[in-house]
């Protein structure tokens, strides 16, 4: 005798195509929302804020990305690829000093364009395996970049890869503090730092002009109102 009841879904059965498409749309909406919020506010944005921005429930967000690290890993995969490519391009430059300074400007500009990425470069996420793998690749390449620049005699012998991390931390801090009140302040910081890293007699352009006092004042007022942003 044949039963007319609908078959129950077995544990290994694949979801219906419509369900898969809906899940993919939710994932795309979550990623787009996280990119927008992280770029503007940094990694201090809560998972609840991402869910609201995406127009999904917290449970839906948790199904797609069980942890904050998983979301960050997915959001910044392309940025980390671009970072790795920037170091590789700098290493390929026939002028090691030009490659070094070009890389510094490129990576700091990437930080300025995306506050979340600025944070990513100065934090570690052990659970985000793919992101950390790309970070390790970029780090190893940057060590070679530093060694090549030193060999030209234009980069100070006492410059280390730790100084590169300090530079990125300083740049992230200036970007977070100035925001849209004085958005190009980071360029002056980087210009001064590159001059301090170079040996006497090295031909290096002067830093851009300092921001107007009124712009810095607006940045200080903004920072007073918002306070330092810490990840949650």
| Residue 115 in this model has a pLDDT that exceeds 50 | yes
pTM above threshold 0.75:
yes
Listed in sequence order, the residues at least 6 apart from 86 whose beta carbon sits closer than 8 Å to its beta carbon are 103, 106, 107, 110
The pLDDT value given to residue 175: 93
Q: Cα–Cα distances in Å, from 120 out to 79, 209, 226? A: 10, 28, 20
| Residue 9 in this model has a pLDDT that exceeds 60 | no
The pLDDT value given to residue 104: 97
Instruction: State the pLDDT confidence band at 231, using cuts at 50, 70 and 90.
Output: very low
Q: How far apart are CA 97 and CA 77, in angstroms?
A: 28
Shortest CA distance to 26 belongs to which of 59, 2, 49? Answer: 59
52 φ, ψ (degrees, to nearest 5): -65, -45
| Residue 88 in this model has a pLDDT that exceeds 90 | yes
Query: 41 vs 154, which has greater pLDDT?
Result: 154
| Residue 14 in this model has a pLDDT that exceeds 80 | no
The pLDDT value given to residue 3: 44
Query: 4 vs 98, which has greater pLDDT?
Result: 98
Domains along the chain? Answer: 17-75 (1.10.10.60), 77-226 (1.10.357)
Q: Do residues 231 and 44 touch, judged by C-beta distance below 8 A?
A: yes
| Residue 226 in this model has a pLDDT that exceeds 60 | yes
- The answer to which of 30-39, 161-170, 219-228 has the lowest mean pLDDT is 219-228
In Å, how far from its chain's centre is CA 166?
15
In Å, how far from its chain's centre is CA 223?
21
């Amino acid at each position: 005798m044949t039963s007319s009841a609908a078959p129950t879904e077995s544990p290994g059965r694949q979801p219906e195509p419509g369900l898969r498409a809906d899940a993919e749309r939710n994932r795309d909406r979550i990623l787009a929302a996280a990119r927008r919020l992280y770029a503007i506010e940094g990694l201090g944005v809560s998972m609840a804020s991402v869910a609201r921005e995406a127009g999904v429930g917290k449970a839906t967000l948790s199904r797609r990305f069980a942890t904050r690290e998983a979301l960050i890993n997915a959001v910044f995969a392309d940025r980390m690829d671009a970072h790795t490519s920037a170091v590789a391009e700098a290493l390929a430059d026939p002028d090691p000093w030009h490659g070094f300074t070009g890389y510094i400007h490129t990576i700091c500009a990437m930080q300025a364009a995306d506050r979340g990425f600025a944070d990513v470069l100065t934090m570690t996420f052990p659970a985000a395996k793919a992101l950390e793998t790309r970070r390790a690749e970029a780090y190893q390449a940057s060590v070679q970049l530093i060694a090549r620049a030193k060999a030209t005699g234009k980069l100070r012998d006492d410059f280390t890869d730790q100084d590169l991390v300090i530079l990125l931390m300083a740049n992230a801090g200036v970007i977070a503090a100035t925001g849209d009140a004085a958005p190009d302040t980071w360029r002056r910081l980087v210009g001064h730092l590159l001059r301090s890293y170079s040996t006497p007699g090295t031909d290096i352009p002067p830093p851009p002009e300092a921001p107007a006092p009124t712009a810095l004042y607006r940045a200080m007022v903004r920072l007073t109102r918002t306070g330092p942003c810490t990840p949650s």
